Structure 1
Amino acid sequence: MSGPATSTGDGCVFCAIAAGEAEASVVHEDDEVIAFLDLHPVTPGHLLVVPKRHSVGLDDTDPDTGRRVWSVAHDLARALRRSSLRTDGVNLLLCDGAAAFQTVLHLHLHVVPRFEGDGGELMFPIGPAHDRALLERDAQAIREALAP
């Protein structure tokens, strides 16, 4: 989750890993995705699930590929719980855009095994509850954006 941002396409470290041109500790590979251990893990077993075809974020990722990324992450989370690695819980985290802390500009889903006292954090500020009218206004904006 740390390190300098990489550009899209040429020079993309995840594209290089998917092409077998860069080293990685791969735990899963199929025609659409590759999953490997994060070089800078939050905890032992921290995995990244990456589409083989380059896309920067959710907006330019094919929906079928996105479903495959999440399906593989689900399988890997279950495998972590069955493994000998300490896994009392699992975080699935996808950072989409710089404002959301995306540092490698190739879509990737983190699968992070968690346990009490592991030193990792994931904190979101919790604001005051919004009134129903404001929530409904925001819901309407999202519903409108979902329309074809």
Structure 2
Amino acid sequence: MTCVFCAIAAGQLPAHKLYEDEDFIVLLDIFPMRPAHVLIVSRVHAPYLKELPAAARERLLALADKVAAALRVAGYGREGINLLINDGPDSNQHVPHLHLHLIPRRRGDLPVLLWRLLVRFVPLGRKRLQARLEAEAEQLRAILSKEN
């Protein structure tokens, strides 16, 4: 079976894409931990960070900084954003393809974050979530397109 992120990169699966360039696709996580939970996904299938081409590795944090700035302009994570790479299966990497999570945080959200961690993949309220993801994607796409 094809990797889900490779299928998204090839246009075979839908995604809430926010931005893309030659090395990365920026999209919303379909099982978000918090509102506007963004993924920066490598176009190259690289299960581990060390397998990502050096030029792309060098650009990753600069792109993360750009996306974080867009999140803050949109009102997400103004006081904090978790940047997270699960590098390998023992680190809780669910899709063996390099991706960086940007999870906007706000003061006092830890109980909700822990609850989402427990029920993240339970398919309850998907229609409402899809509507929220569409609105977040539209807002963030507009901000990121102004920055290019």
For the criterion TM > 0.5, the same-fold answer is: yes
Which residue number in structure 1 is paired with residue 21 of structure 2?
Answer: 30
Deviation at 1:101?
Answer: 1.2
Q: What is the match of residue 111 of structure 1? A: 102
Instruction: Return structure 1 stretches of 4+ with deviation > 3 angstroms.
Output: 84-87
1:120 matched residue in structure 2? 113
SS in 2 for 1:120: helix
Greater share of residues in helix: 2
CA offsets 1:53-99 (integer angstroms, 9 cap, x no match): 11111121112111222221111111111113464310000010112
Partner of residue 17, structure 1:
8
Task: Report the residue type matching 2:37 in the other structure.
Answer: H
Larger Rg: 1
User: Residue 74 of structure 1 corresponds to which residue in structure 2?
Assistant: 65
Unaligned runs of 5+ in 2: 115-148
Whichever residue aligns with residue 64 of structure 2, its letter is A
Q: Which residue of 2 aligns with 1:47?
A: 38
Unaligned runs of 5+ in 1: 1-9, 122-148
The 5 A counterparts of 1:135-146 are none
TM-score by length of 2: 0.70
Query: How many residues align structurally?
Result: 112
Higher relative contact order, chain-length normalized (CA < 8 Å, sep 6+): 2
Q: Secondary structure at the match of 1:34?
A: strand
- The percentage of counterpart residues that share the same residue type is 40
CA contact under 8 A between 2:26 and 2:38: conserved in structure 1? yes
1:96 counterpart residue number: 87
Alpha carbons 1:33, 1:68 under 8 Å: kept: no
Please report the TM-score for the alignment, with normalisation by the length of structure 1.
0.70
Instruction: In structure 2, give the amino acid aligned to 1:49.
Output: I
Aligned alpha-carbon RMSD (Å) = 1.4
Q: How many Å apart are 1:32 and its aligned residue? A: 1.0
Q: Are 1:49 and 1:73, in contact at CA under 8 Å, matched by a contact in 2?
A: yes
2:54 match: 63
Counterpart-to-counterpart distance in 1, 2:96 and 2:24: 16
Determine the C-alpha separation between the residues in 1 that align with 2:77 and 2:24: 25
